[in-house]
């Protein structure tokens, strides 16, 4: 049985892109923002987050740059590219269609 914290396949990319669309962030901050905005339902582990960030960067949907974090540590900050903005728009549209369809099936009163 799946747990509520298990992400639907492919949604991690959407969550990352949406999170950094607001402002450039380092990895730990991305995971924290997702956790906070989901009210502790979605907990992205480092073992999932960093491979996803590297894949998105390799695909040129995000870019990274080293900077200093709020606690004076060196951190790699990620931001969207123009291609990433387009991908985010497509992913949001696709997610809206999928979640609407799942809701319709889940709330159907007849089998």
Helices (H) and strands (E) in the chain, counts: 4, 3
* CA dist., res. 15 & res. 29, Å (int): 13
How is domain 11-106 classified at the architecture level of CATH? Answer: Orthogonal Bundle (1.10)
Domains in the chain: boundaries? 11-106
The pLDDT tens digits of the residues spanning 21-73 come to 999 999 999 999 999 999 999 999 999 999 999 999 999 999 999 999 888 99
Percent of the chain with pLDDT over 70: 90
* CA dist., res. 37 & res. 39, Å (int): 5
Confidence (pTM):
0.87
**Closest by Cα among 35, 5, 21 to 89:** 21
- Quote the mean pLDDT of the chain: 91
Name the pLDDT band for 4 (thresholds 50, 70, 90): very low
């Amino acid at each position: 049985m799946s747990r509520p914290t298990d992400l639907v396949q492919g949604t991690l990319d959407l969550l990352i892109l949406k999170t950094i669309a607001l402002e450039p962030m380092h990895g730990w901050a991305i995971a924290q923002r997702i956790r906070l905005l989901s009210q502790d339902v979605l907990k992205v582990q480092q073992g999932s987050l960093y491979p996803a960030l590297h894949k998105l960067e390799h695909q040129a949907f995000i870019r990274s740059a080293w900077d200093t974090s709020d606690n004076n540590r060196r951190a790699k900050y990620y931001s969207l590219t123009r291609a990433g903005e387009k991908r985010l728009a497509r992913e949001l549209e696709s997610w809206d269609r999928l979640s609407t369809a799942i809701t319709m099936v889940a709330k159907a009163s007849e089998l």
